[in-house]
Amino acid sequence: MWTEDMELVKNSAIDFFKDLLSSIVFSMDQDSVAGPDGFNVKFYQFCWDIHKEDLLVVMKELWGGAWFPKSFSRTTIVLIPKKDEPHG
């Protein structure tokens, strides 16, 4: 359906990205860790109804050109030893 109604276009885009973000969250490995806060994906999936609106607000602000801290795009690498007592 083609429309030039800006309100309808805006709402369609918001709905599209809500669905996209939700599907991404629920397709991730539950045991993977999302960031330096230590919460794994299972936490975000379990509490999705509680925090989804807050995450969507942040995403809208970022897509709108809002400033965000460099820590948002950092990656944390953790070395996990395969032996109980590793030696160099």
Answer yes or no: is pLDDT of 43 > 80: yes
Q: What integer is the mean pLDDT of 54-81?
A: 77
Task: Give residue 31's pLDDT.
Answer: 80
Token pair for residue 42? 């299972």
**Domain-embedded: residue 84:** no
Residue 1 domain-assigned (yes or no): no
| 87 domain-assigned | no
**Band (25; pLDDT cuts 50, 70, 90):** confident
On whether residue 26 sits in a domain, the answer given is: yes
pLDDT over 80 at 33, yes or no = no
Q: How far apart are CA 43 and CA 47, in angstroms?
A: 6
Q: In this structure, is residue 86 part of a structural domain?
A: no
**Residue 36: which pLDDT band, with cuts at 50, 70 and 90?**
low
Host domain of residue 14: 6-73
Predicted confidence (pLDDT) at residue 69 exceeds the cutoff of 70: yes
Q: Rounded to whole angstroms, how far apart are CA atoms 1 and 7?
A: 14
Whether 30 and 41 have beta carbons less than 8 Å apart is answered as yes
* Residue 15 domain flag: yes
Looking at the structure of the chain, the number of domains it has is 1
Q: What is the DSSP string of 1-55?
A: -----HHHHHHHHHHHHHHHHHHHHHHS-TTSB-STT--BHHHHHHTHHHHHHHH
